[in-house]
Amino acid sequence: MFIDALKSIWLESGFSVLTWQHLVMIAVACVLIYLAIVKKFEPLLLLPIAFGVLLANLPLADLMKKEIGDIQGGLLYYLYLGVKKGIYPSLIFLGIGCMTDFGPLISRPSSLIMGAGAQFGIFMAFIIANLLGFTPQEAASISIIGGADGPTAIYTTARLALDLLGPIAIAAYSYMALIPIIQPPIMRALTTKEEREVKMEQLREVSKLEKICFPIIVTIFCVLLLPSVAPLIGMLMLGNLFKESGVVDRLSDTAQNALMNIVTIFLGVTVGATANAENFLQPQTLAIIALGLLAFMFSTVGGLLIGKLMYKLSGGKINPLIGSAGVSAVPMAARVSQVVGQKANPSNYLLMHAMGPNVAGVIGSAVAAGILMALFG
Amino acid sequence: MHMTFGESLLVSLFSMFIVFVVLVSILVLIQLFSKLLALGSTQSGSCKPVESEKRVQPAAPAPAAFVPGPELSTGELRLKNVDEKTAAMIMAIVSDESSIPLSELRFKSIKLIEEES
C-alpha cells in the first residue's frame, strides 16, 4: 500500500518524465540567472527571462499549456498573449519614450544618418540568414537582433516567426548586455587615435516647442509612410510627448515606472517560457546566436563608417566614435562611445553627443522592422 | 519559400535605402521646423534666441516662495530670514539640479517659510 502510494506520487511528479533536454535547459536557466544576479547583465530583463526558461522546462507544470475548449490554459499562456499580440513591446516603447530625451538629436539632426548607417548589420544578417536556409520571415526576425532593440526584435518575431521567439529574444538581450565587450575592439580597429581624440562642440540648446513638436511630426511622417511601424513609433512618440508636454506628469511617471516594470515582468517571464527544450535545443538556435552576433558587429561597423564619413565632411569636428551608438541599446551604446573616447582623450565627454545617434538608432531599427514586416508580414 | 542570394541582396539594398530616406526626411523636417521657429521669433520682433526648455522649466524655487516686488537685476537678491551662506547653497543646488550656470540664473528673493504648528 505504502509502496503503491509512493509509486503513484513518483509517476505523477515531474521527476518521472524529466529528460536530459530538460536538464540542459534548467542548466541554461541557472547560467542566465547567475549572469543576471552576479554579473548584472541586463538583470531587469534577464532575470525574468531566465526564470521563465526555468518554469517552462519543469515537466508537467504546464504553465504554457494552451487553452483547449473548456480546459484552462497555463498562467504563462495567458500572459504570453500580450507578446503574441504585440502589446508588451509597444507598451515598453511607451515607457522608453517617456524616458528618452530627443534633445541631442534635434540639436544635431545629422545624428539621424548615423542611426540609419547602424542598421547595416540587420540587412547583412538578413542576407546571410537567407543563405543558411532560413525562410525570409525567419531571416527578417533573426536579422532585427542587429537593431539592438529588444522590444523591436520581439515585436517583429511575434509577427513573422513566432517559433523563433525564445532564441531571438535571449540572443537580443544577451548581446545588448555584452555591448561593452563587443563594440570597443571594433571601434578601435576602425578609427585612428586622432579621430578618437576629437572633442566635439557643445550642442545648441533646444527649445521646448521643438521638443513638443518632434514626436508629433515624426509620428505623422513615419506612420503615414510605414503604417506597419505605427504600434512601435506611435507608442514611443506618445510617451515622449507625455514627457515633453509637461502637463501629464502623472501619466509620464506611470508609463516609465509602474507600467514599464509590470510589462517588463510579463514580457520577460513569458518570452523566457517560450524557450522550451523542444524548440530551443535545435541546431538553428546556434545559427541564430551566431547571426545575432554578426548583425551586432556589422551594425557597429555601419555606424562607425558613417561616423568616419561625417568626420571627413565636417573637417574633423565630429568624433566618429559616436557613430557606433547608432545601434540603439539606449543608453549603453552611448556610454561605450563615452568610455572609448575618454580613453583616447581623458578630457573628452562624448556622452551627450552620442545620445543623438543612439536615439536615432531606436527610430532607425523600428523603421527597419516596419519595412521587413511590410515586405514579409 | 526561400530567397536566392540575389533576391535577398536586392531586398537588403532596397530596405537600407528606405531606412536612409526615412531618417534623412526626418532630418530635413527637423531642420525646416527649427528654421521656421527661428524665423518666427525674429519676425515677432524678439531678438532673443529661441526660449530654451531649460528656461521654461521652473528653475527657481516654487512661485509661492517669491516675494512680489519690483524687477531686480542680477546681484540684487532679497534675503528674508536666510543667511548668506544658506542662500549661496540654495542657489548652487538650484543651478546644479537645473543644469543652468549660476551666471544665467536670476534669483529675486530667498525667504524662509515658517512651518505651521
Query: Helix, strand, coil: what percent of chain B each, to 5?
Result: 55, 5, 40
So what's the pLDDT on residue A54?
95
pLDDT at A55 over 90: yes
CB A298 within 8 A of CB A114: no
A121-142 tens-digit pLDDT: 999 999 999 999 999 999 999 9
The Cβ of residue A140 has, within 10 Å, a number of other Cβ atoms equal to 31
Please give the distance of CA A123 from its chain centroid, rounded to a whole number.
Answer: 16
Task: Say how far apart CA B9 and CA B15 lie, in whole Å.
Answer: 10
Note whether residue B4 is domain-resident.
yes
The Cβ of residue B35 has, within 10 Å, a number of other Cβ atoms equal to 10
Average of per-residue pLDDT across A152-169:
92
Q: Please judge whether B16 and A217 are an interchain contact, meaning their C-beta atoms are less than 8 angstroms apart.
A: no
Residues 6+ apart with CB under 8 A from B35: none
Residues 6+ apart with CB under 8 A from B6: none
Question: Which of chain B's residues have a Cβ under 8 Å away from the Cβ of A371?
Answer: 15, 18-19
Helix (H) or strand (E) holding A227: none
Q: A69: phi > 0 → left, psi -120 to 50 → alpha, else beta; which?
A: left
Q: What is the DSSP letter of B78?
A: E
CB B57 within 8 A of CB B98: yes
So what's the pLDDT on residue A249?
94
Note whether residue B95 is domain-resident.
yes
pLDDT at A51 over 90: yes
Mean pLDDT of chain A: 93
Least-confidence region, from A51-60, A165-174, A364-373: A165-174
The total number of structural domains that make up chain B? 2
Task: Say how far apart CA A371 and CA A365 lie, in whole Å.
Answer: 10
The pTM assigned to this predicted structure is: 0.79
CB A108 within 8 A of CB A342: no
Nearest to A112 among B2, B27, B52 (CB): B27
Q: Please judge whether A106 and B24 are an interchain contact, meaning their C-beta atoms are less than 8 angstroms apart.
A: no
A56-85 tens-digit pLDDT: 999 999 899 999 888 999 999 999 999 989
Task: Say how far apart CA A304 and CA A239 lie, in whole Å.
Answer: 29
Q: What separation in angstroms does the CA of A80 have from each of A62, A88, A272?
A: 13, 9, 10
So what's the pLDDT on residue B55?
42
pLDDT at A374 over 60: yes
Nearest to A123 among B16, B33, B37 (CB): B16
Average of per-residue pLDDT across A28-34:
94
Q: Please judge whether A205 and B56 are an interchain contact, meaning their C-beta atoms are less than 8 angstroms apart.
A: no
So what's the pLDDT on residue B103?
67
Nearest to B53 among A116, A207, A217 (CB): A207
pLDDT at A254 over 60: yes
B interface toward A at CB cutoff 8 Å? 1-3, 5, 7-9, 11-13, 15-16, 18-20, 22-27, 29-31, 33-34, 37, 49-54, 56-57
A231-246 tens-digit pLDDT: 999 999 999 999 999 9
A165-219 tens-digit pLDDT: 888 988 888 888 889 999 999 999 999 999 999 999 888 889 999 999 999 999 9
pLDDT at A373 over 60: yes
Identify the closest residue of chain B to A247 by CA–CA distance: B57
Confidence of residue B108 (pLDDT cuts 50, 70, 90): confident
So what's the pLDDT on residue B115?
59
A297-330 tens-digit pLDDT: 999 999 999 999 999 999 999 999 999 999 988 8
Nearest to B33 among A136, A217, A375 (CB): A217
So what's the pLDDT on residue A27?
96
In chain A, where the domains are located: 86-376
Confidence of residue B116 (pLDDT cuts 50, 70, 90): low
So what's the pLDDT on residue A58?
93
Least-confidence region, from A367-371, B35-39, B55-59: B55-59
Question: Which of chain A's residues have a Cβ under 8 Å away from the Cβ of B7?
Answer: 130
Average of per-residue pLDDT across A112-129:
96
So what's the pLDDT on residue B113?
78
B57-96 tens-digit pLDDT: 444 443 333 333 333 334 467 787 788 778 888 888 888 8
Nearest to B20 among A116, A133, A136 (CB): A116
Distance from CA of A276 to the nearest CA of B (A): 26
Helix (H) or strand (E) holding B80: strand B78-80
So what's the pLDDT on residue B46?
53
Query: Which cell goes with A368?
Result: 527597419
Question: Which of chain B's residues have a Cβ under 8 Å away from the Cβ of A211?
Answer: 53
Note whether residue B73 is domain-resident.
no
A86-110 tens-digit pLDDT: 899 999 999 999 999 999 999 999 9
Q: Output B51-57 pairs: Cβ under 8 A, ≥24 positions apart.
A: B51/A207, B51/A208, B51/A209, B52/A205, B52/A206, B52/A207, B52/A208, B53/A103, B53/A205, B53/A206, B53/A207, B53/A208, B53/A211, B54/A205, B54/B98, B54/B99, B54/B100, B55/B100, B56/A208, B57/A246, B57/B98
**End-to-end Cα distance, chain B:** 78
So what's the pLDDT on residue B53?
43
The domain in which residue B90 lies consists of 78-111
Residue among A106, A143, A207 with most chain B CBs within 10 A, to mutate? A207
Residue whose grid cell is 508636454 = A245
How many CB pairs below 8 Å do chains A and B form together?
A: 116
Task: Say how far apart CA A179 and CA A329 lie, in whole Å.
Answer: 8
Note whether residue B13 is domain-resident.
yes
Q: Please judge whether B52 and A206 are an interchain contact, meaning their C-beta atoms are less than 8 angstroms apart.
A: yes
